Structure 1
């Protein structure tokens, strides 16, 4: 019963009140080339 009440609140939520934000990736994954270089560098030890 509480799920139905929660959905009703969700459906009438006004998204225009939300602030616009820009997302920035803080820890990007290395490129495929970088990963290959590191893999081959580790094999030489």
Structure 2
């Protein structure tokens, strides 16, 4: 069975990386988990408009 997640490579501004790392730590999530959550929320919000 194929994995449900795929690896991707993106380039982010250093200040964004720092902020995401802090937010992820405060939410007890990994950097990757936090980005995934933020993107899902953004997509859901955008589709509901």
TM class, shorter-length: 0.3 to 0.5
The structure where helix makes up a greater share of residues is 2
RCO (CA 8 Å, sep 6+): is it higher in 1 or 2?
2
The normalised TM-score by structure 1 is: 0.37
Higher Cα Rg: structure 1 or 2?
Answer: 1
The normalised TM-score by structure 2 is: 0.34
